[in-house]
Amino acid sequence: MRGEVSLTLRRGERLCLYGYSGAGKTVLLRALLGLRPRRGEVVWHILPASVGYAAQHPRLFPRATVIQQVIWCAALHAIPLSVHGSRIHELLEQWGLQTHRRRQVRHLSAGEQVRLELCCAMAVASQLLVVDGLLEQLDERSRARFWEEVDARCARRELALLYATHSAREAELADQVLMLHEGRVLALDTPEHLRTDAEVEPIRLEPTSGSEQARLQAVWQQDGETHLIIQRTPTMEDVLQALIRRGGLR
């Protein structure tokens, strides 16, 4: 990372690290978690055991079964999960892994391994969930299920979410977005405030035939030509591009 990073994450908040591949998202996450050397101070007001971490590349035991993997991760955080308990089966059912509970991890598909990594992190995240670049790898059903649970727990102020992504769609769902580019922080603010600082070109649609022009007559006319202009809302991608051009917030 180049330069300083200063941020505060409170319970109930969702903070996104957003930027292109190579922006420094994983480096920053691992430094915050103490998994790589860092300079500066990170102050935690929660116990490390209350943090669930889903890594960019799933950290799973190939020869363990799905149910063994979840129980082992829970044991590392001193969370008692039993093979015969209802909690573990609820987790596996929630992540679509119940029918695979006796399968070895090495026989799971790449998508199933991603879901298992997230299942393990969710199983132990009692106060903070950290997710590094996995959400865009989920299918739509799993993605919706993830956000449904996280939003509910954040609304009850049971959980905080810290996640990294290069997906503008995922960044839109955060309460705060930390914009990164080439290891440097460009901005940290709410999506709404960031959008006000982005300039986007309107979409201009022009008819190509007389019949189309006739149908659009009621929309808008200028200089005898019919035009339809759509002023779209800036996305996080638009914001990032604007910040890169300017080198950060004004």
Note the pLDDT of residue 218.
46
Query: Does residue 223 surpass a pLDDT of 80?
Result: no
Residues 143 and 59 in one domain: yes
Note the pLDDT of residue 114.
96
Evaluate whether residue 136 is within a structural domain.
Answer: yes
**Span 162-186, average pLDDT:** 95
Note the pLDDT of residue 1.
65
Note the pLDDT of residue 231.
66
Lowest-pLDDT range of 76-85, 182-191, 220-229: 220-229
Evaluate whether residue 202 is within a structural domain.
Answer: yes
Residues 93 and 201 in one domain: no
Evaluate whether residue 5 is within a structural domain.
Answer: no
Residues 167 and 234 in one domain: no
Alpha-carbon span 248 to 109, nearest angstrom: 40
CATH code, domain with 123: 3.40.50.300
Alpha-carbon span 144 to 136, nearest angstrom: 11
Evaluate whether residue 214 is within a structural domain.
Answer: yes
Provide the residue range defining the domain that includes 56.
Answer: 14-193
Task: Pick the closest to residue 120 from 161, 59, 165, 174 (CA basis).
Answer: 59
Residues 230 and 124 in one domain: no
Residue corresponding to tokens 């300017």: 246
Evaluate whether residue 51 is within a structural domain.
Answer: yes
Query: Does residue 216 surpass a pLDDT of 70?
Result: no
Residues 96 and 168 in one domain: yes
Note the pLDDT of residue 208.
52
Residues 139 and 78 in one domain: yes
The domain boundary, picked from 193, 210, 230, lies at 193
Q: What is the pTM of this model?
A: 0.85
Overall number of domains in the chain: 2
Query: Does residue 71 surpass a pLDDT of 80?
Result: yes
Note the pLDDT of residue 200.
65
Query: Does residue 237 surpass a pLDDT of 80?
Result: yes
Residues 101 and 206 in one domain: no
Residues 214 and 231 in one domain: yes
Q: In whole numbers, what is the pLDDT of the chain averaged over residues? A: 87
Which tens digits make up the pLDDT trace of 113-162?
Answer: 999 999 999 999 999 999 999 999 999 999 999 999 999 999 999 999 99
Residue, of 202 and 46, whose pLDDT is higher:
46
Evaluate whether residue 1 is within a structural domain.
Answer: no
Residues 32 and 77 in one domain: yes
Confidence of residue 83 (pLDDT cuts 50, 70, 90): confident
DSSP secondary structure of the chain: --S-------TT-EEEEE-STTSSHHHHHHHHTTSS--SS----SS-GGGEEEE-SS----TTSBHHHHHHHHHHHTT----TTSHHHHHHHHHTT-GGGTTSBGGGS-HHHHHHHHHHHHHHH-SSEEEEES-GGGS-HHHHHHHHHHHHHHHHTTS-EEEEEES-HHHHTT-SEEEEEETTEEEEEE-HHHHHTT---PPEEE--SSHHHHHHTTTT-EETTEE-EEE-PPPPHHHHHHHHHHHTS--
Residues 168 and 236 in one domain: no
The domain boundary, picked from 173, 193, 213, lies at 193
Residues 230 and 170 in one domain: no
Evaluate whether residue 233 is within a structural domain.
Answer: yes
Residues 128 and 220 in one domain: no
Evaluate whether residue 7 is within a structural domain.
Answer: no
b/e string for 14-37 if b means 16 or more Cβ within 10 A?
A: bbbbbbeeebbbbbbbbbbbeeee
